[in-house]
Amino acid sequence: MPIISRIRTIPDHPKKGIMFRDITTLFKDPAGLRIAVDQLVARYKGIKIDKVAGIEARGFILGSVIAYQLGVGFVPIRKKGKLPAATMGKDYELEYGTDRVEIHIDAIAPGEKVLLVDDLIATGGTAEAAAALIDESGGDVVECAFVIDLPDLGGTKKLEAQGLRVFSLCAFDGE
């Protein structure tokens, strides 16, 4: 059974016209979670990666397991005000307003190779801000990895236009 069949679609959530892709059904399925993690780990075995950075919150679930399997460190990229030590942050645009993601200033050393992980790429604003933080810290984004791509929302193209490599396990067209 493929990954995409293990992801629940909830119509009209959080508002009418949105087809919400719920990855919690993949996470609760032991075989589905294992398949997703194993496929991502296999892609990056043998590639120089020093850290895996996971975007809050579902990127923590995937990113920490991938980091463990690859034998590298994990860096949480969190929403504003959630990290306890000195941070650096990046604002990004939302449909109505802005938000901010942050990392600890000592999370990534200059020259470290970083894999950026999240559950889903939609418009790309959060991933774009996270990649900028990694870059500003001196790290080098090896690739941006996602379970789900919503290609019609343009996030993958936005990241690729900035020279970032993007990989997703599955895509839902027609968003």
Catalytic amino acids?
Answer: 58, 95
- Structural Rg of the chain based on CA atoms: 16
Closest CA to 134 of 71, 91, 89: 89
Closest CA to 6 of 147, 123, 139: 147
Is the CB of residue 104 less than 8 Å from the CB of residue 147? no
For 15, the 3-state DSSP assignment is coil
- Distance, CA of 58 to CA of 49 (rounded, Å): 20
For 131, the 3-state DSSP assignment is helix
Q: What are phi and psi of 56, to 5 degrees?
A: -55, 135
